[in-house]
Amino acid sequence: MTDAPTARVGTGALRGTAEGGVVRHLGVPYAAPPVGGHRFAAPAPPEAWEGVRDASVHGPAAPQTPYEGAVGEILPSVDTVGEDHLHVNVWAPENAAPGSLPVLLWFHGGALVRGGNSLSAYDGTAFARDGVVFVSANYRLGSEGFSVLEDAPPNLGLADQLAALRWVRREIAAFGGDPGRITVAGQSAGAGTTAALIAHPEAGRLVRRAIVQSGPLTASPRDRAGRITRLIAQDLGIAATRDAFAGVKPEDLVAAQHRVMDAGGPLVGGPAFGLAVDGDLVPRSPYDALRDGAADHLDLLIGTTREEHRLWLAPTGADRDLGWPLLVLGALRFGVGPATLRRLGSHRPGMGAGMLAGALVGEVVLGRPARRVARARAARGAATHLYEFAWRSPVAGLGAAHCMELPFVFDRLGTPGALALTGPDAPAALAERVHRAWVDFVRDGDPGWPAAAGRAEPHVLDADRPGPVRGAGPPGTGGPCPG
């Protein structure tokens, strides 16, 4: 350890830590705590402080419940939650000149109800080591961040992310970052909100590049997006209004949303939080906006894992338990007919009905939208790089599941969180290659493979297959896409 480094932002001085040539400043507020009059309201500016603020330890994450069961053994949960969670963590190379380095702003996943920037999976040391100022931001989750109430703005968690982006643009030079070279990125739910951010006119002007990893590109009309809010209100016996929800303790709201969400799943259209089309932050779905040209001026790196669905099905055995009923429900929900199902099955010899249903969901929700956005952008000449992460983990039948690319992107193989996903024998050379691709994209927009063109075939990221997949299809097929 070296002497504690200090940095000064608009609200005061910060004392961080330094080790191995990397400086960390943790728990730095970018907005006021969402308490009292700030609950269910747009994020307010952070308050200034006297003296030097300690920035050596992580702050709390947004209130949430931990992952449970078999999935909880694979995905880590945050250690501490609390109301004062609108803060960022910053990793930077030691002695970086002010305003000199590219910046990566990261939004975590977790279905908009879990996660936080304190998770070791999002440690930015490797990015700082390689010349990138890495910032990870918390945002409001669940009922606090994505309720649709009669008298409060929707998409407050997304509004928090925009506030974090404004803070980075305003303050990042103090840590060595160049405010004109910001890449905004996220995975899963954080990728969906990243897509919404770059589709928003203001946010699109604040960043130069974006990375969308396994992100749903959807937003629903207010009435549909508010379904879960109404169910939570019914569970608690209150009105779906700001005053009523603000009268409930955060931990009680979390308990109610857990009860409501536990009653269904994605295949049967179970209640879940999502973005609401609001005419302001989200004027239309990110998918429609990006396909039609929003953010064409930005460089985009977008992709999925090959077997997204296995995270939710393989560890729990749900595919075996539900089988054909799961496939029928999935087909009905997404309007997939028998001919398409037969075609999907022909590319997956030996795969059971339940796992086939999961593959269908992964294709419809994540894979196909990413490819279509890439193809539309490529047709207009917008710089777009498409990937598919295909390395298969031997742990719990996960294969190339959702989240599997994260230890490789962050170059964190061998850490406890990574081992739970990958096991002890994950290929270090692949981690070096994937992490370097992300660093290079943040630095100059080139991850090391050609930009998408024509049908936008994805570049395959695998230990022994570093090239584009020909005739790319749904995750796990290696065959042509049915639509």
Measuring CA to CA, which residue among 70, 123, 90 is closest to residue 418?
A: 123
SS3 340: helix
Residue 279 to residue 241: CA distance in whole angstroms:
20
Query: Nearest to residue 306, comparing CAs of 474, 71, 111?
Result: 474
The DSSP letter of residue 393 is: B
For residues 193 and 286, what is the distance between their CA atoms, to the nearest angstrom? 9
Amino acid identity of residue 65, one-letter, is T
| Cβ count near 2 (within 10 Å) | 11
Map residue 134 onto helix, strand or coil: strand
β-strand 459-461 against 384-389: which pairing, if any? parallel
Query: Which is the catalytic residue, given 143, 188, 214, 393?
Result: 188
- Chain CA centroid to CA 116, Å: 11
Question: For 316-346, b where at least 16 C-beta lie within 10 A, e where not — what string?
Answer: eebbeebbeebbebbbebeebeeeebebbbe
Joined together, the tokens standing for residue 50 give: 């006297």
Separation between Cα atoms, residue 388 and residue 349, nearest integer Å: 21
For residues 43 and 81, give the distance between their C-alpha atoms in angstroms, rounded to a whole number: 18
CA dihedral angle for residue 311, residue 65, residue 40, residue 105, rounded to 10 degrees? -50
Active-site residue, 85 included: no
Catalytic residue flag (residue 402): yes
Catalytically annotated residue among 402, 405, 457, 459: 402
Q: Which residues pair with 468 in a beta bridge?
A: 459
Cα distances (angstroms) measured from residue 422 to each of 78, 114, 365, 398: 20, 21, 24, 9
Active site residue 143: no
CA-CA-CA-CA torsion sign (399, 401, 405, 407): negative
Q: What is the C-alpha to C-alpha distance for residues 432 and 440, in angstroms, rounded to an integer? A: 12
Distance CA 410, CA 126 (A): 6
Active site residue: 307, 308, 388, 405, which one?
A: 308
**Neighbouring residues of 258: CB distance < 8 A, sequence distance ≥ 6:** 65
| Alpha carbons 299 and 180: distance in angstroms, whole number | 14
Q: Which residues contact 378 (CB under 8 A, 6 or more apart)?
A: 384, 451, 452, 453, 454, 456
Report the catalytic residues. 188, 308, 402
